[in-house]
Amino acid sequence: MAIHPIEYRYGTEEMKRIWGEEAKLQKLLEVEVALARAEADVGLIPKEDAKTIAANINKVKVRRVKKIEDEIGHDLMAVVLALAEQCGDAGEWIHFGATSNDILDTALALQLRDGVDILEKRLKGLKDALLDQAVEHKHTVCASRTHGQIGVPTTYGLRFAIWASEVGRHLQRLEQLKPRILVGQMSGAVGTGAAFGPFAREIKERTMQYLGLDAVDVSNQLIQRDRHAELVMFLANVATTLDKIGVALRNLQRSEIAELEESFGPKQIGSSTMPHKRNPIKAEQVCGLARIIRAQVEPALLNNTLWDERDLTNSSCERVVFPEVMILTDHMIKTMTDIIQNLQFHPENIRKNLALLKGINMSEAVMIELAKQIGRQQAHGLIRKCAMNARKTGKHMKDVLLEDEEVSKHLAQDEIERLMSPDNYIGTAVEQVEQVVKKLRDKT
């Protein structure tokens, strides 16, 4: 019986496989094999027994491990005993000198490595989708909004370039994060390595080499959770970027604005009772799930405040936190990429909203030009007076400017008309888009 929405509604099969029971068991067994190989290398256990252990890991099944755990009440020891059953006398060497979290935390690093690879691929796909829209719409002039009010013109290309640049920074952060989270340990009961004797350091290094991981410099009974907290905070940051994009797209799809909208299938239903509805449900889903990711930051931080050399308060928590944040973030990035790739633009509404204030939003352009002749402060006061007059009377700003004797004294009619055109006042927006695209395309 499926209970959690991850089981039936959210997440890609690719990411969910990593966090399933079978995959986790496989990682635990891989770590046990790597440990046995490392111990055999230094002569701590017989080489033939290490080979026997490695040859039998595919015979260990989740069902058997669960049955043993029900009997003994220890999840990792159940894995050890299930493998030992398959290995005969060689089974006595499995897990020699190790503590549970040597295996659990190192296996977690292997899961995270696979998950991070998927997230990196997804982020690159989102970045490229945003860059494609930035290029497509670098000349699409539109109304900007600050405080929810229309400001001077901007371009859709610039908006998408800003978002793409942010995703590019997330890719940088992820690359910087990898060395801190993709690490394993093999340190024994409380981190001293005493059970491994004089070979402790070599066993740790060799085990990690077999697994393709870096080894922690130092640890107690578990890898310190500042590393994992950083990962969760990173994912919360990514989720917030997706949330921000989703909020912007939802606002731009409002009936009063309607400049763009999510794709809407030919048989898609927007409302169970209002047949006309075309709701931004995908963006809303992303925004909603972002709250779940951010909510996991505090548990991840608290998982670092354990008693002495360790306690178990992080364990139950992490069984929920890691699958949720990895699976849901992956789902959100994929969903947002689909939204961006399939956006429907409405140029007629973009132009309509650009002209909605009857030229008042072009006040800065006129003020800047006028300031060159009469000074900035005087020009600001004069154009503000004209703008308030236009707002009050409902006249077009151009007409108010032409009627004002002081303005007309310094600016000719054709100059005022030129300054009132939104297409003439986008500054370096196009060049900025081109620079961002060049920079980020080179880093794919």
Q: Which residues are catalytic?
A: 147, 271
Spell 151-181 as b/e; 16+ CB within 10 A means b: ebbbbbbbbbbbbbbbbbebbebbeebbeeb
Q: Are 386 and 105 in contact (CB under 8 A)?
A: no
Question: Which residues 6+ apart lie within 8 Å of 189 measured at CB?
Answer: 99, 195, 221
Tell me the residue type at 75.
Answer: D
Which residues make Cβ contacts (< 8 Å) with residue 100, sequence separation at least 6? Answer: 74, 76, 77
Radius of gyration of the chain (CA): 30
The Cα–Cα gap between 255 and 260 comes to 10
Note the Cα 59 to chain centre separation in Å: 37
Closest CA to 142 of 25, 298, 248, 274: 248
Q: Strands, DSSP E only, in 112-257?
A: 141-146, 149-155, 183-184, 214-215
Q: Which residues, in sequence order, are bridge partners of residue 214?
A: 183
Assess contact for 294 and 239: CB atoms under 8 A.
Answer: yes
